[in-house]
Amino acid sequence: MRKIVTLFALIAATPAFAASGPFFSLRNTDFVVLLAFILFIAVLVYFRVPGILSGMLDKRAAGIRSELDEARALREEAQSLLASYEAKQAEVQEKSERLIAHAKAEAETAAEQAKEDLEKSIARRMASADEQIASARAAAVREVRDEAVGVAISAAREVIAKQMTATEANKLIDAAISDVDAKMH
C-alpha cells in the first residue's frame, strides 16, 4: 500500500516541482496540501468508504432498477387494461348499433302495422257508413211505399165508398168470411 501512496504522491506532485524552493519541505504549502490530501485518501481507503459508497450506489441502482421494473409492469398492466376497455367499448358500440337498428326496424314495423290498422278501420267505417246509407235508403223507400199504400187505400176506400151499395157491401163481407173460413180449415 505504501508503494501506491508514494506513486500517487509522485504523480500528483509533478506540478509542484515548478514551485520555488525545496518541494519536500513542511514549509512548502503545496507539499503540506498534498500530504493532507494523501492522508485524507488513505483514511477513506482505510475505512473502506469507496466500498461503502459503491455499495450505497449499488443499492440505489438496484432500487431504481426495481422501480423501473415496477413501472414497466404497471405500464404493461395499464396497456392491457386499456386494451380490454377498448374492446369493451367496441363491444358496447356494436351492441348499441344493433339495438338502434332493431329499434328502427321495430318502429318501421309498428308504423306499417298502424297504417294497416288505420286502413282496416277506415274500411270498416266506410262499410258501416254504406250499411247505414243502405238502411236509411231502404227505410225511406219503405216509408214512401207505406205512405203510397196508405194513400192508395184511402183513395180506394173513398172510391169504393162512393160507388158501393149496401147489397154489394154485404156480398163482399160474406166473400171475405168464406175466404177466411176456407183458409182456416
Structural Rg of the chain based on CA atoms:
67
48: left (phi over 0), alpha (psi -120 to 50) or beta: left
- The verdict on pTM exceeding 0.75 is no
* CA atoms of 46 and 33, how far apart (whole Å): 19
Q: What is the pLDDT of residue 180?
A: 82
Chain centre distance of CA 15: 82
Q: Are 19 and 30 in contact (CB under 8 A)?
A: yes
Q: Are 30 and 16 in contact (CB under 8 A)?
A: yes
Q: What average pLDDT values come out for the chain (185 residues) when binned by 10 residues?
A: 59 54 82 94 92 94 97 96 95 95 94 93 92 90 85 79 77 83 78
* CA atoms of 5 and 1, how far apart (whole Å): 6
